Structure formats: C-alpha cells, structure tokens
Amino acid sequence: MNKLMGLFKLGILSFCILFLLSWTWYLTIVLRIGIVHPLITIDYLYSDLEYLGPFAFILDTLFLLIVWFGYKHIKSKQLDKNTDNE
C-alpha cells in the first residue's frame, strides 16, 4: 500500500510539472503570435513539434526519469531521517 501511495504521489507530481511545462509552451506561442483562434494556435504547436521531431519525446522521457530519480532520492533521505530518530 505504501508503494502504491508513493507511485500515486509521483504521478501527481509529474502531472503538475508537465502541466506547467505545457502551459509555459502555450504562453511562449501566445507571446509570439498573440491571442488568436485555437486552430491557428494548433498549427503553431504542430510546427514546433515538427521542428523538435522525435527529440521531444526523448526530452519528455529524460525529464520524467530525472523527476523519478529525484523523488526516490528525496524519499530515501526522508526514510534515513525517520530511522535516525527512532
């Protein structure tokens, strides 16, 4: 159960970070072209994805791995602190 809760927290953290990154990406598009119809914005999203190509998915995977290892590292430090107090 404890492992499931940790996985759930990691999922929430990853979702929040990816949501903030996507919001920042959308904000950069709005700053470049202004507030326009969503279909025009989607064209700019597609052009950015074509520019990044498969590297976008590699960057996403790398980012999620970094978040996962960081979470595990922080969790292990918390467990060490908890065992030192006992």
Residue 86 lies in a domain: no
On whether residue 85 sits in a domain, the answer given is: no
Phi-psi category of residue 66: left, alpha or beta, with phi > 0 → left and psi -120 to 50 → alpha: alpha
Domain range for 38 is 2-79
Contact 10, 65 (CB under 8 A): no
> How many domains is the chain partitioned into structurally?
1
- The verdict on residue 84 lying in a domain is no
Higher pLDDT: 16 or 79? It is 16
Please check whether residue 57 lies inside any domain of the structure.
yes
What pLDDT is stored for residue 1 in this prediction? 66
Q: Per the domain annotation, does 24 fall within a domain? A: yes
**24-69 pLDDT per residue, tens:** 989 999 999 999 998 999 898 888 888 888 887 888 888 888 888 8
H-only helix segments in 1-86: 2-33, 38-52, 55-85
pTM over 0.85: no
